Amino acid sequence: MLGVPLLLWCLAQPAPLPGQTLFMPPPEPWASGPDRFFLATAVDVGFLYLRPRLSLGYGRPHREWLGFDVNPIGALSGAGAYGGLRIATQFLDIRAGARFFLPFQRSFLAPRESYGRLDVEDRTGPSAKYVTLEVEATSEIPMGPGELQAVFSGSLVKGVPDGYYVFEETIRVVLNPPLVWRLRVGYIFAFGPRAAISFGPVLEYVHLPGRSEEVLRGGFITRARLSEALEVNATFIPIIASPDTIGIQGADFAQLGVRWRWATSY
């Protein structure tokens, strides 16, 4: 995918000439300064989604802070919004909030042992709309030539009528509500000028208590940090094992785009 040509390109870069040092791009105005109240935004745009996030908090924006996040969600599959509390430290980032999502062409599903592609696209049930209450903890710890990344999330899906299952669009699974939790672990190698390019494998485990089933995914994530404000991201984590055979709908192909960050300066 994108990571392979980026990796090849970085490996092919010539060594610096004697006396050369690496260019240090100027930092963003918001990246420096003491802890303070701030307004920040991070906009994710890609193929095909738009997720602008607004944050109001105290601390150093996009680094270590405490506050609130709100963001609308727009994608080809549907629209929604998220709002919640967030605490970010050097190695740990925790958020807790609620997300409402309205799929454009999705219905609640009749219970089955296993779902195929046509089963999740069945439109005989009521049109799906639901609220997901979730807690997510993300950790990035430098280790060796890269960093260890781990994400744990627990979600409660509400608003599903009794006797129906639902395809949760963010976690990309069919679940018997309300509970679902997942753990994602990866090791990300950083390389290139100023270690701006990162690429690495990830493994994800999703547990569906209501169905007594698990989903296992494996893939990779790539990031090119072009500046403190701008980065290019790609995530592709297809299914390895699942009780369902729903193809690409069950994979996490959530990001293929750019993230732009800004915040008020000190």
Partner 1 sequence: MWGLILSLTSPMIGGPALAAPTQTSSTSAPHIGDLYARPAPLIEASANAPIFQRGAPLIWFWPHFDNTDYWITGVAAAVGGASYALQLSSGRRASVLLDDPARDHLRLPKLNQRFLARDVSDVLLSLMTAYPILVDALVITWWHRASPEAAAEMVLIDAQAIAVTVAIQGLTAALVGRERPYGEQCGNELADATRDCEGYNRYRSFFSGHTALSFTIAGLVCSHHTYLPINGDPISDLVPCAGALAAASTIGLLRINGDMHYLSDVLVGAAVGALSGFGVPWLLHYRHDPGFEVRLVPTVGGLAVTGAF
Q: Which residues bind partner 1 (CB under 8 A)?
A: 1-2, 5-6, 8-9, 12-14, 16-17, 19-24, 46-47, 105-106, 116-118, 121-124, 193, 196, 224, 226-227, 230, 232, 234, 236, 245, 247-248, 253, 256-258
- Structural contact between residues 135 and 153, judged by C-beta atoms closer than 8 angstroms: yes
CB nearer partner 1, residue 121 or residue 140: 121
Structure tokens belonging to residue 10: 């970085």
- Can you tell me the distance from the alpha carbon of 233 to that of 44, in angstroms, rounded to the nearest whole number? 9
Note if the bond before 16 is cis, omega within 30 degrees: no
CA angle 75, 109, 134 (to 5 degrees): 55
CB nearer partner 1, residue 63 or residue 117: 117
DSSP string, 144-212: TTEEEEEEEEEEEEE-PPTT-BEEETTTTEEE-SSEEEEEEEEEEEEESGGG-EEEEEEEEEEEETTTT
CB nearer partner 1, residue 6 or residue 40: 6
CB nearer partner 1, residue 88 or residue 234: 234
- Can you tell me the distance from the alpha carbon of 115 to that of 109, in angstroms, rounded to the nearest whole number? 10
Burial of 61 per CB tally in 10 Å (0-12, 13-18, 19+): buried
Q: Which of 154, 36, 51, 147 is nearest to 95 (CA)?
A: 154
Min separation Cβ 16 and partner 1, Å = 6
Min separation Cβ 166 and partner 1, Å = 15
- Can you tell me the distance from the alpha carbon of 110 to that of 84, in angstroms, rounded to the nearest whole number? 31
Task: Assign 229 to helix, strand or coil.
Answer: coil
CB nearer partner 1, residue 32 or residue 245: 245
Min separation Cβ 227 and partner 1, Å = 8
Q: Which of 221, 256, 219 is nearest to 75 (CA)?
A: 256
Min separation Cβ 103 and partner 1, Å = 10
Min separation Cβ 14 and partner 1, Å = 4
CB nearer partner 1, residue 195 or residue 230: 230
Min separation Cβ 67 and partner 1, Å = 29
Min separation Cβ 134 and partner 1, Å = 26
Token look-up 């995914």 returns 217
CB nearer partner 1, residue 6 or residue 180: 6
